[in-house]
Amino acid sequence: MPSALPVESIKLLSGQHHKPSIIRFQYGTAGFRTTASILDSVLFRVGIVAALRSKKLDGRTIGVMVTASHNPEPDNGVKLVDPRGEMLEASWEVHATTIANASTADDLVDALEVLVQTAKIDLHAPFWPSLVAALEDGFKAMGATARNAGVTTTPILHYLVRSINTKGTKYSYGEDTEAGYFAKLSTSYKKLVTGKAVQPPLVIDCANGVGALAAKTLNESLGNTLELVLENASTTTPGALNNACGADFVKVSQKIPPSLANVLQPGQRACSLDGDADRLIYYYLDDRGAFHMLDGDKIAALVAAFIIELVKVAGLEEKIKVGVVQTAYANGASTKYLQERLPVKCVSTGVKHLHHAAERYNVGVYFEANGHGTVLFSQPTVDILAEYQPSTPAQSRAVEHLVSLTELINQTVGDALSDMLLVEVVLTHKSYRGEEWDSLYVDLPNRLAKCSVPDRNAFKTEDAERRLVSPPGLQARIDELVLRYQGGRSFVRPSGTEDVVRVYAEASLKSQADELAMRVAGLVYDEAGGDPTSRPKEFL
């Protein structure tokens, strides 16, 4: 039986996008990630997969994001966004990986046929006219039309996808334009801070990424309700993206970007976005000029406590249950603080795991320590808020605030700008400065390290990635090391975005956390049989 796929068109255009013979691609937590120079064939094939995904879902819009994210400029990646603005369905990740690694045009067609048959895709179904993507040849091969969202942030793309797919329905998410996105955020922010003292200007490190463009527009939309001071906003300077700046730099190095050394004043709060503006890290300098970081854990604690307070004041604590989702990277002190106040769930690293777990609560708060996160309000919860009849002015105000929060928060994915406004709302209501926020709990000193190994897939984990099951015996050696340090905790896991193995360690003293991380990393290098000369000096 002849294939319903446009085989000749696929083969013809595939010939213009050859797959490198010695490279194996893998669709992970953040899609396909590797050096930009070898991604050409992947982008073409992702275009085809996106077209087929749209076919499978009756022509609904699928998003495609091309971004370096938090990585250096030469690195890059591409990921798919499902109709509700969420990550690609997990079962399709396997197909995307197989399709990306097909060696020849014939192999590619065979892999696509398997996907079509397995997913039971009707290839004769019409395409929705506003399919979002930028991978023109992939769509051209399938005869699909596309809407190019242009240069924008990853969260805005997620917002657009959901808005397009809910347009004209009871659950319309918003106007399907960038203007609609900024109007939604600024309008809800203004409602939430009405009558409150205006916060001092906020310094934003834009990582020299696309977030600088979005932050500039947001600044204009906010008017005099909040002044944003934009730094590291050079979006056209070669090599500047995430270079000694951005959320990942601040989180890993635990210091302010050098470019802010003469900008940030003691007591002034600041935050860093990453390259595509889906991560957010806050920080401040105390009166002695010492650096204090307020990461995703601190954001989760601040936000969750505020929402719980509003729910209680509204008299809805019996109907609306709030929960927090963390990963193994969450600081042990944050987990303890949160567990004393509400349910806390630990899941494997990756937005898809956090997002799905958060959906099980009426209000699910999830933040990775790296600053990626959001808050999800279930549809029944939104309906409860819409139908509830408050009996006091205080209850009425609390309900109004909760409704406005559902508008302020980008519930499709972690959004640095949306999360930033959420933090500013809480700080405004609580009259907190950085010091008061930071004092909610004291972080245990911690250290992140990464190890280049011959095969990251040799490292397999269980218990939400907190324990190794492979290589055999390595976890026992890690456990033995951890016992030597007061407050010690450490885990090892293969990266979902880079070809490395990551090490996390914490202890009661910073020097001990550093030492524990380095010694565990040394165990990883020894076990992996990597080149000893490639080990960083501090591992020797």
58 belongs to an annotated ligand binding site: no
β-strand partners of 294: 282
pLDDT of residue 17: 84
> Does residue 457 surpass a pLDDT of 70?
yes
Average pLDDT over residues 385-403: 96
Catalytic residue of the set 69, 188, 221, 272: 69
Question: What is residue 373's three-state secondary structure?
Answer: strand
Residues 86 and 513: their CA atoms lie apart, in Å, by 35
**Lowest mean pLDDT segment, chosen from 28-37, 221-230, 440-449, 500-509:** 28-37
Give the count of alpha carbons within 13 A of 175, CB side only: 9
The annotation status of 148 as a binding-site residue, yes or no, is: no
CA distance 96 to 84: 19
Residue 76's pLDDT band, with cuts at 50, 70 and 90, is confident
Ligand-binding site membership of 369 (annotated): yes
**How far is residue 411's CA from residue 494's CA, in Å, rounded to a whole number?**
28
pLDDT of residue 537: 46
Which residues are bridge partners to 375 per DSSP?
365
Residue 205 CB contacts under 8 Å (≥ 6 apart), including other chains: 231, 232, 245, 246, 250, 257, 259, 260, 270, 271, 272, 273
Query: Would residue 396 show up in a list of annotated catalytic residues for this protein?
Result: no
Domain 178-293 and domain 296-438 have a common topology: yes
Average pLDDT over residues 216-239: 93
Domains of the chain: which residue ranges? Answer: 7-148, 178-293, 296-438, 446-539
Q: Are β-strands 291-294 and 280-285 bridged in parallel, bridged antiparallel, or unpaired?
A: antiparallel
Second CATH level (architecture) for the domain 296-438:
3-Layer(aba) Sandwich (3.40)
**pLDDT higher than 70, residue 540:** no
* Domain 446-539: which CATH number of 3.30.360.10, 3.90.1570.30, 3.30.310.50, 3.30.470.20: 3.30.310.50
Average pLDDT over residues 101-116: 88
138 annotated to a ligand binding site: no
What average pLDDT does range 57-83 have in this prediction? 77
According to the model, what pLDDT value does residue 3 have? Answer: 53
Would the annotation count 495 as a binding residue? yes
Q: Is 20 annotated to bind ligand?
A: no
* pLDDT confidence of residue 405: 98
**Is 331 annotated as a binding-site member?**
no
Q: Is 497 annotated as a binding residue?
A: yes
CATH topology of domain 178-293: Alpha-D-Glucose-1,6-Bisphosphate; Chain A, domain 3 (3.40.120)
Q: Which of 51, 11, 86, 76 is nearest to 412 (CA)?
A: 86
Residue pLDDT, tens place only, 345-392: 999 988 889 999 999 999 999 999 999 999 999 999 999 999 999 999
Quickly state the pLDDT bin for 286 (edges 50, 70, 90): very high
Q: State the residue for tokens 């046929």.
A: 113
129: pLDDT confidence band, cut at 50, 70 and 90?
very low
CA end-to-end distance (rounded Å), the chain:
62
- Among residues 135, 94, 131, the alpha carbon closest in space to that of 111 is found at 94
Average pLDDT, the chain: 88
Per-residue pLDDT averaged across 136-150, rounded? 67
Question: Architecture of 7-148 per CATH?
Answer: 3-Layer(aba) Sandwich (3.40)
